[in-house]
Structure 1
Amino acid sequence: RAVSVPELTQQIFDPRNMMAAADFRNGRYLTCSAIFRGKVSMKEVEDQIRNVQNRNPAYFVEWIPNNVQTALCSIPPKGLKMSSTFVGNSTSIQELFKRVGDQFSAMFRRKAFLHWYTSEGMDEMEFTEAEFNMNDLV
């Protein structure tokens, strides 16, 4: 089944299609890039991205103008008529960092699996420092 540019645009912003386990509707995009491949009109791509930004202004920071980059490669991927790829820098990634940090803290308090690393020459202080660095991101 052939997909259209509006369909691909909707799919690239759909949280179910993201590779990180965070809900990007809870954050704001600082910058992002949408790359389309295949026989696609650049004007249609730009219009669709602009529509997404106009319909969902709360998802994009206003203090970075033109924060969505679009690119087009006219050669489609093998077996498809067109495809798209999305890379986004969103503040919602802090959800993931917080969740992983909480899980790490719980395991580190119990010293779970720590012996595997200390036996290879790592020091417990390295883990403490990594935990502080992770918490600084959140």
Structure 2
Amino acid sequence: PDRIMCTYSVCPSPKVSDTVVEPYNATLSVHQLVENADEVMCLDNEALYDICFRTLKLTTPTYGDLNHLVCAAMSGITTCLRFPGQLNSDLRKLAVNLIPFPRLHFFMIGFAPLT
């Protein structure tokens, strides 16, 4: 295929959950992510909440705060696609360098600094 399917998936957490069906949705979506996506960037909902609470010192983080962290991480990952420079790459090169086997295309995102 000439297209790379890159997804950003938030894994649910029982500590930061407002619906009962979140674990079921996540479980049922894994098969589709394995079969149809080329790169899956996984984000842990509980880790996002802890970053907002501990690092950013927000007493009651909202979904807007969590989404802000996700947006910053997505922006950092796709910077090489949006701006010119010598280190430009594309998602295909990222996949070739990071994925040892076709079904092992799940990545955990690390993002720093958070100040």
TM-score, length-normalised on structure 2?
0.30
Structure with higher Rg: it is: 1
